[in-house]
Chain A
Amino acid sequence: MATTTQKGFTQSQFAIAMVFLIPSFIGFFGFFAWPALRGIYLSFTEYDMLRDPVWTGIDNYVNMFQDPIFLNSIGVTLEYVFLNIGIQTVLALLIAVLLHRFTRSIVIRGIILLPYLIANVIVALVWYWLCDYNLGLINSALDGLGIQRMGFFGNETLAMPTIAFVNVWRHVGYTALLIFAGLVAIPRDVYEAAEVDGAGEWRIFRSITLPLLRPVLAFVLVVTLVGSFQIYDTIAVTTEGGPVHATRAINVYIFQQAFEQRNFGYASAMAVILMIFLAFIAIAQNKLLKANENDLDR
């Protein structure tokens, strides 16, 4: 060992590192890089999974922007993301502040997180049942109060907001916990000083909490926004894209094109566009994140 030169030492660690990385390289090339390249290739073909793919150039990409259902799916997805992220972020901020200012109980934080640990499919079915038109608790209660029953999942206008709400219910606790962690990191004396100065709760929130929380909020938005665009499970087990196309979000449409219509090439092309779009968002948000360093550091 002692006679090994510095260079030789480094080289031997390179060899060991490669051995340690064998399973991960298999994974990276076998289940990521190769499939990714294959997906890009297939996006330029027509492929039904039975016959060999036929090269069609950029046809899939051209057709996409003339396909009213695809264009609709973008609109529908944006509607979902806007409702889901908008409501979720505001509500999570409120819950985080409540957790921060009124309790120290980790049990309460655990309860708030619980829905996030339950499968999307289960959460979707529980709310599908609660919202059922004839027998569901919510409509039965509305009926009891003399209000007209509502087809939450069955009505074209209500379906997407309902799904957005269901996922807010599942994710809001997780988001609140991330924001809560940011709140805990704010030095305590800042609050004490503000209280000594006689600042009210709202003033403290607006002038201390919110500005100091900006980097955490930016991080939370990156995480939740990219996830939100990929909405699938909840729709798949409830409306399956309907009524008509009201909840046919982009991932739902990609899936249906690939496995129900057997337009695998077309589905791949849409997946490529989705990926480029999400990469764009992630990069833009990263820039924003860097520009918004914590005000304490200034």
Chain B
Amino acid sequence: MSKLSEFINSKRRQVENEDSSALVKSPVARFFGLTALTLIILGTLFPLYWMLRTAFSTNKSMFSDATSLAPVDFTFGAIKRVLGLATTQEAIAEGGSGGQISFLHYMGNSLIVCTLIVVFQIGFGALAAYAFAILQWRGRDTVFAIFLVALMVPGIFTLLPNFLLVKELGLLNSYLGIALPAMFMAPFSVFFLRQFFLGINRSLIEAATIDGASHFRIFRVVAAPLVMPQILTLSILQFIFYWNDYLWPFLVGQSEDSKLLTVGLGIFRSQTPQGNPDWAGLMAGALIAAIPIIIIFLIFGRRIVGSIQSSGVK
């Protein structure tokens, strides 16, 4: 028991040392501060709860119980419908369009495309970061600076001609067409990893060089394993980014076989009738698209928060 409390105390000291802030002590101020924080947390979570609540309600109940906090006529109908697991008759009976939608399929597409992007982008990005941080060559910093210009250019500017390129390559409506630019081109990943390669103790690299190891070997055996935690963090951040991306996959992947979740959701919404939308279905689709990110958040939240915070003090 005392061991445990000792451990907890040491952890607490650690946390307090990391965080130089002084907490407010006045009870009145604390009351108002904590009340404000509670309201902000409620305002943050409530819309997401409302998505959940609607996804498990029936469309009919939207008219009778618009303000009920709990799901009305609790049902998995909407979820089944957008996953493509309900028959057309069932779908129409529940207020769906009856058109074929399969978020299960879109989720598979999103998974494949995002994995493809993350694996290649971060693999290639790490190689480039190694060349910019560890290898010594003339013009290195100039080349890196030119490389970073791409980070500043607004997406829509290269998006239009890149669409033409992918079209000319015959890759419209394919996984590769959606993934290709991001697989090869990611100044952010290079920039992010370069910082951590720069932090590697040079004597480690030199020792390996003297032992006769090639730079490919040093990259694979020494450098990359040392920055593995940052590679994992970057993979999570980039996976979320591309999972959420909309405009590019919308342009390039319109077919049923290449539609990503966000695209499926956008098209579902635009096809839903103006007067009487399938709200339960829409929210069920939104929920399904959000769930993988929420799972990632629950597992890696601490890491994500930490990495965003550290980007704020650069």
Contacts and interface: CB of A to CB of B under 8 A. Distances in A.
A220 B21 CA distance: 20
A258 B269 CA distance: 22
A185 B313 contact: yes
A213 to B, nearest CB: 11
A51 to B, nearest CB: 14
Interface stretch (A61-69, A75-83, A156-164, A176-184): A176-184
Contacts of B147: 24, 28
A119 B156 contact: no
B87 interface: no
A31 B184 contact: yes
Interface stretch (B73-81, B99-107, B227-235, B283-291): B283-291
Interface string A236-270: 11001000000000010011001100001001100
A183 B124 CA distance: 35
A195 interface: yes
B244 A272 contact: no
Given A13-B136, A117-B293, A121-B265, A31 B185 contact: yes
Given A188-B20, A271-B156, A216 B265 contact: no
B240 A117 contact: yes
A33 to B, nearest CB: 8
A83 to B, nearest CB: 18
A130 B50 contact: yes
**Per DSSP, are chain A's interface residues mostly helix, strand or loop, or mixed?**
helix
Interface size class of B (residues with CB under 8 A): 35 or more
Contacts of B181: 27, 31
Interface in B43-73: 43-45, 47-48, 50-51, 54, 62-63, 66-67
B48 A30 contact: no
Contacts of B13: none
A184 B270 CA distance: 45
A284 interface: no
B23 to A, nearest CB: 6
Interface residues of A, number: 107
B119 interface: no
B312 A20 contact: no
B155 A178 contact: no
A274 B286 contact: no
B40 interface: yes
A122 B308 contact: no
Contacts, number: 310
B136 A10 contact: yes
B128 A24 contact: yes
A199 interface: no
Interface string A39-62: 100100000010000000000000
A85 interface: no
Contact of A127 (B47, B247, B261): B47
B309 to A, nearest CB: 4
Interface in B20-52: 20-24, 29-30, 33-34, 36-37, 40-41, 43-45, 47-48, 50-51
Nearest to B136: A13
B273 interface: no
A137 B313 contact: no
B34 A102 contact: yes
Contact of A230 (B40, B155, B270): B155
Given A35-B158, A255-B247, A259-B251, 8 more contacts: A42-B160, A102-B33, A110-B301, A117-B296, A121-B289, A125-B286, A126-B48, A274-B156
7 contacts: A14-B137, A17-B131, A101-B21, A119-B246, A119-B261, A140-B66, A169-B44
